[in-house]
Structure 1
Amino acid sequence: MHSWFGPSLLDERLEAPEEQQEFKRLWLGFMTARVMLGLVLLLLQVTLYVLGQAPNVWLALLCGAYFAATLMVRVAPRPRRMGHTFDQSWLSSIGVDVLVFTALHLLHGSSINYTPLYALPVLQAAVLGSLTLAMGTAAGVTLLLLLHSTWQALRGPGDATPFFIQAALTGAGSFVIAFLAHQLSARLASEQQRARRSQHAMRIQQQVNDLVIEALTDGILVVDVRGTVHAANPAARQMLQADDRPIRHTPFSLADEPGWQALAELAFQVFTGRGDFHHADIGIEHLGQGNRRMRVRTRMTTAHWGESEILCVMFLQDLREMEARMRTEKLASMGRMSAAVAHEIRNPLAAIAQANALLEEDIQEPRHIRLTQMIRQNAKRLDRIVDDVLNISRAGKQATAFASRVLELTPSVQRIGQDWAQQTGNSAMLALHLAPQPLPVHFDPEHLRRVLVNLLDNARRYARQLPDAIQVHARADASGQALLAVWSDGPPMEPSVEQHLFEPFFSSESRSSGLGLYICRELCEGHGAAIGYHRARRIARDTLMDGNEFFITLRQAAVPSPASRSPATP
């Protein structure tokens, strides 16, 4: 199997421990075989003695020594790899075998044939060593057999031809065994290495696949024909679960919850092949909760554990999130287009305002003066709208540029509130409730002025013309976080209005651009602050009253030194 990751040096380093374990298993197998062979040879001598043959002390001592030597090598703490030629590791194992088997030939004579025992050292050299070592061992065995045949021929007057033929055939067989065993061993080692690389690549791919599936925002379900879910990623669990009942571990059945009935029905229709169900829009509704609309795409697959088990993979998308993304993209496009239009409007608008100012200098009739005043007022209104539109693109950049500035919240809010009350003539309506302790925060002074003035204008639009109808609170909460709130005693907002409060170009009034609260949110987020809305109770005119409150959570800073403290006004 070829992976798109490919083999690397990392694979070689990861394979080294596995290769060591594989070599250790083979080495232990051969060493165990040698121990068992030594035990058999020792028992053979005991059996011959029991059967009445005259004991051969040298044979018994040789078999006992061979058994002890093989046992010592077997219990060695670390196996030794063999080199390409004869070395100490070869001598302590294969060399001992060859010498012992040759000595058995010489001491026992022709009554017992020990020639087949030479297959063990030849196999060991072929499997655990190189081809050169295997061929050299086979050559050594052949040479010893030929020398033994020569010794047999010199001992007596009989025909020595059978001894030489047997030695030649045994030597040829040793060469064949050495070559074939080494080739098979090398082939198996290569296949094992390739298999380990494939397994390593598959593990990496499995980890990557699991990570991608776990991080997907789309839900993924693997369902069988019985409606049993075998796998579900976190996004799918989040979409399917009720608020008070978490999803159980897989597998679970789609029939367990009544709210999953539409999903179970879709899976059944996909398996039965009723029409084209590559995608469908369904609703998941739990008791006491709203209907969550989803778009489901289905694909049929075959399970890994059997060709007969057909599975359906479902991809779930929350339609509310899709619509929110589309709305965000649409708003972004609208913002870019509006900024371009605002740039084009600014120059003609300035020309209109200048021409109107020149007309005001020459006209005297009251009727014409009222007309020029109307032109001036509407030109200013258009200029404010153009500024609001252009500030949408500037807000984030400006806030980022001044994000590190620190100001004292209490005196800044007091100064901004007093200036606003004086300019609008609403001093009686405004009440400031400011904390006495210092509250240094990260915020640009001019941006704070724009946010607070915008919230105060918005509050004045809906507040009653009574004392303490608008209140500004600046304090630190129990955790030490700085809070700024603007409260007004206006009526509660409609749910449809509250849902879109901070969206651009949304307003409940026809004369508003719908950009004020959106710009406030952008400026707050640019400074690491957060703005929100809720209904809150405040004491106004000695009465606990409900009202609308916009609150801002600001990033509090350490108390700045006088040299580094920013002014409250630009």
Structure 2
Amino acid sequence: MPASRIINNPAEGLKHPRDLLRLFFSYHLFLAFIFGILFHFDLPPEILGSQDPKLYAIVSLAYLVLVLTSGMLIALKTLSYERQTDFAVFVDIAAITLLMHASGGVNTGLGMLLLVSIAAGSLTIRRHAALLFAATASLAILAEQVFSHLYHSFPTTAYTQAGLLGASFFAMAWLADVLSSRLLETEKLASQQELDLANLAQLNEYIIQHMQTGIIIADENGQIRLENEAALNLLGQPETEEQASLDQAYPALSSQLEQWTRNPEYEPQIFRSSEAGRDLQANFIPLGSDEQIGTLIFLKDYALVTEQLQQMKLASLGRLSASIAHEIRNPLGAISHAGQLLEESPQIGSGDKRLTEIIRNNSQRVNAIIENVLQLSRRDRTQFQKIELKPWLKNLATEFRQNKNLDPGNLTVQTTPKNTLILADPSQLRQVLICLLENAINHFHQDKCKLLLQINSGIFPESGGGYIDVIDNGPGIKSGIARQIFEPFFTTHTTGTGLGLYIAKELSESNRVRLEYTPVPTGGSCFHISFSGLRKKVFNE
């Protein structure tokens, strides 16, 4: 997922005061246009410019020019918003005071417009200049009244109204200061909560993406809203930015979700996202309380579940094997030795020799079973490595031919493409393949020169996972017993232990690969080993 920066400073989330400054500018511009339009088109009220029309015309035009200049400064951001606010408020105080004088003085009520300017300036700058604005406006009103009195501009004085207006300026400044403080605290709290939620969402996303359990979130319409990298890895899908529907991307999973939606008691089954995909187990959890707004899907690699069960079985098997070695192997050794002494005795007859032969053969068979059980219990932890199949399989085939005295034609290897890579434990994979090859030889009852063994390997195009097929031309396995061949102690051979294929299956599962039997239509058997695709991250390596 893309790296996200977690914000630690709440001030980073606050809205810039320039938003308030733009709103203040809009008020100025409206006021300047209204002053000019009402005067120049002789619209009511008639008091505008009634005492000094020339002064009113000059000031209203200058006011409009200064407001437009203020708007240009805001757009260019050449000054800080504090200086721009100071400029706008002082322009208001000067312009409205002169327009008030030109219209008849304090009694016109135009001075009340300065209350809006003082309040807006106080809210924008926040406590820095509220009293300064109120004091400047009060002095301007008083100065206008004193000037009018000294030069007899108006027949009556209005000192009382001027004083009350000045007091209202200070009251407005105080109220604006209190309101500004509360708004600031509220804004900081809201911003902090917003940042906490954003950081929590980023933290949750980071945790989800790095979980080893596959996570998918689907909405009520079956649309995928989130899937972490573990889910993509388990499902064998490439990472894409586009959101797809669950039934299009993963039909098998969507089918299980539909069954669970209809019946919450439904127990999800093991499924595969593709023919060559992994065995997966899904768990569904509804999102939302009153009505379902989506579903949280947990995906687990069933091979990991079985591996944990195997570890538990091996722990029990290890304790059991110690008892087997002591309680069975020692008496078995005595039986075998006694049978050997009887066989060497000169007094034994030909009929009794057959009995000693049975004792020897079955003693060897039981000893082989004990060896297999001990080998299984002592198995080392799986060490995953990348294996290039073509040279690795050729070396294994060459060694097997030499050990079994086979001709090159009896065992062939083919890998397509040549650079096929898999992830497995080389030692355990070798043991699996040797077991399958030996099983084919043991059940081949014709002349050894007619034996044909093939090891074919390659890559599944849809998932990118590798596979190995071990094919023989033997008698094959009857369909009625095909499901039993991987069970322990099941054998159709009189001298077999019934543990070879079971051990091969156990080793395959510990390598998180699937071992299956597939009949060959032309005769013979095929044991198919399928591997998961190699991705950027391999979990639990």
TM-score of Structure 1 vs Structure 2, range by shorter chain: 0.5 to 0.7
CA distance in 2, matches of 1:295, 1:554: 24
Q: CA deviation at 1:67?
A: 0.3
Q: Per chain length, whose mean CA-contact separation is higher, i.e. which structure has more relative contact order (CA < 8 Å, sep 6+)?
A: 2
* 1:127 lines up with 2:108 in the alignment: no
Q: CA deviation at 1:201?
A: 5.2
Q: Which residue of 2 aligns with 1:540?
A: none
Q: CA deviation at 1:62?
A: 1.7
Q: Which residue of 1 aligns with 2:527?
A: 550
Identity percentage of aligned residues? 17
- Cα 1:211/1:134, change in 2 over 3 Å: same
Partner of 1:337, secondary structure, is helix
* Alignment-mate amino acid for residue 419 of structure 1: N
Contact 2:455–2:471 (CA<8 Å) still a contact in 1? Answer: no
Q: CA deviation at 1:69?
A: 1.1
Q: Which residue of 2 aligns with 1:15?
A: 13
CA distance in 2, matches of 1:379, 1:462: 22
Contact 1:462–1:490 (CA<8 Å) still a contact in 2? Answer: yes
CA distance in 1, matches of 2:93, 2:143: 14
CA distance in 2, matches of 1:449, 1:333: 24
CA distance in 2, matches of 1:200, 1:125: 28
* 1:39 lines up with 2:33 in the alignment: yes
CA distance in 2, matches of 1:478, 1:400: 18
Q: CA deviation at 1:130?
A: 2.0
Q: Deviations over 1:4-26 (max 9, x none)?
A: xxxx744737625xx13xx3432
Q: 1:505 aligns with which of 482, 488, 498?
A: 488
Q: CA deviation at 1:166?
A: 1.9
Q: CA deviation at 1:377?
A: 4.2
- Cα 1:149/1:328, change in 2 over 3 Å: same
Q: Which residue of 2 aligns with 1:339?
A: 318
* 1:179 lines up with 2:174 in the alignment: yes
Q: Which residue of 1 aligns with 2:62?
A: 65
CA distance in 1, matches of 2:425, 2:19: 72
* 1:455 lines up with 2:449 in the alignment: no
CA distance in 2, matches of 1:178, 1:373: 115
* Alignment-mate amino acid for residue 325 of structure 2: R
CA distance in 2, matches of 1:221, 1:166: 69
* Alignment-mate amino acid for residue 487 of structure 1: D
- Cα 1:475/1:232, change in 2 over 3 Å: closer
Q: Which residue of 1 aligns with 2:401?
A: 417
Contact 1:506–1:515 (CA<8 Å) still a contact in 2? Answer: yes
- Cα 1:205/1:343, change in 2 over 3 Å: same
- Cα 1:125/1:526, change in 2 over 3 Å: same
Q: Which residue of 2 aligns with 1:566?
A: none
TM-score by length of 1: 0.63
Q: Deviations over 1:152-174 (max 9, x none)?
A: 454469998x7332222212211
* Alignment-mate amino acid for residue 501 of structure 2: L
CA distance in 2, matches of 1:126, 1:194: 21
Q: Which residue of 1 aligns with 2:230?
A: none
Q: Which residue of 1 aligns with 2:375?
A: 391
TM-score by length of 2: 0.66
- Cα 1:451/1:38, change in 2 over 3 Å: closer
CA distance in 2, matches of 1:54, 1:164: 19
* Alignment-mate amino acid for residue 29 of structure 1: L
Q: Which residue of 2 aligns with 1:516?
A: 500
* 1:465 lines up with 2:446 in the alignment: yes
* 1:490 lines up with 2:487 in the alignment: no
Match runs of 1:77-156 below 5 Å: 77-78=75-76, 81-83=80-82, 88-110=83-105, 112-155=108-151
Match runs of 1:167-316 below 5 Å: 167-199=162-194, 208=204, 279=265, 301-303=289-291
Q: CA deviation at 1:31?
A: 0.3
- Cα 1:508/1:204, change in 2 over 3 Å: farther
Tell me how large the CA RMSD over aligned residues is: 5.6
Partner of 2:475, secondary structure, is coil
* Alignment-mate amino acid for residue 431 of structure 1: N
Structure 1 gap segments, 5+ residues each: 1-7, 223-228, 236-245, 250-256, 267-277, 284-292, 304-310, 538-544, 556-570
- Cα 1:505/1:203, change in 2 over 3 Å: farther
CA distance in 1, matches of 2:285, 2:452: 52
Contact 1:470–1:486 (CA<8 Å) still a contact in 2? Answer: no
Q: Which residue of 2 aligns with 1:366?
A: 348
Partner of 2:488, secondary structure, is coil
Q: CA deviation at 1:452?
A: 4.2
Q: Which residue of 2 aligns with 1:565?
A: none
* Alignment-mate amino acid for residue 318 of structure 2: A
Contact 1:126–1:182 (CA<8 Å) still a contact in 2? Answer: yes
Partner of 2:114, secondary structure, is helix
Q: Which residue of 1 aligns with 2:519?
A: 535
CA distance in 2, matches of 1:122, 1:14: 28
* Alignment-mate amino acid for residue 130 of structure 1: R
- Cα 1:9/1:398, change in 2 over 3 Å: closer
- Cα 1:508/1:126, change in 2 over 3 Å: farther
Q: CA deviation at 1:361?
A: 7.4
Partner of 1:533, secondary structure, is strand
- Cα 1:548/1:406, change in 2 over 3 Å: closer
Matched length: 473
CA distance in 1, matches of 2:143, 2:310: 98
- Cα 1:450/1:106, change in 2 over 3 Å: closer
CA distance in 2, matches of 1:294, 1:525: 19
Q: CA deviation at 1:114?
A: 2.8
CA distance in 1, matches of 2:354, 2:153: 150
CA distance in 2, matches of 1:418, 1:215: 44
CA distance in 2, matches of 1:454, 1:102: 104
CA distance in 2, matches of 1:294, 1:523: 24
Q: Deviations over 1:359-383 (max 9, x none)?
A: 4676525378777665554444344
Q: Which residue of 1 aligns with 2:23?
A: 29
Q: CA deviation at 1:479?
A: 9.7
* Alignment-mate amino acid for residue 524 of structure 2: G
CA distance in 1, matches of 2:266, 2:368: 47
CA distance in 1, matches of 2:479, 2:505: 20
* Alignment-mate amino acid for residue 124 of structure 1: A
- Cα 1:186/1:512, change in 2 over 3 Å: farther
- Cα 1:325/1:11, change in 2 over 3 Å: same
CA distance in 1, matches of 2:391, 2:218: 52
Partner of 1:485, secondary structure, is strand
- Cα 1:506/1:220, change in 2 over 3 Å: farther
- Cα 1:401/1:97, change in 2 over 3 Å: closer
Q: CA deviation at 1:82?
A: 4.1
Partner of 1:302, secondary structure, is coil
CA distance in 2, matches of 1:484, 1:449: 14
* Alignment-mate amino acid for residue 175 of structure 2: L
Q: CA deviation at 1:431?
A: 2.4
Q: Which residue of 2 aligns with 1:275?
A: none
* Alignment-mate amino acid for residue 457 of structure 1: E
- Cα 1:210/1:464, change in 2 over 3 Å: same
CA distance in 1, matches of 2:310, 2:459: 38
Q: Is 196-205 or 101-110 further displaced after alignment?
A: 196-205
* Alignment-mate amino acid for residue 453 of structure 2: V
CA distance in 1, matches of 2:455, 2:196: 59
CA distance in 2, matches of 1:261, 1:444: 38
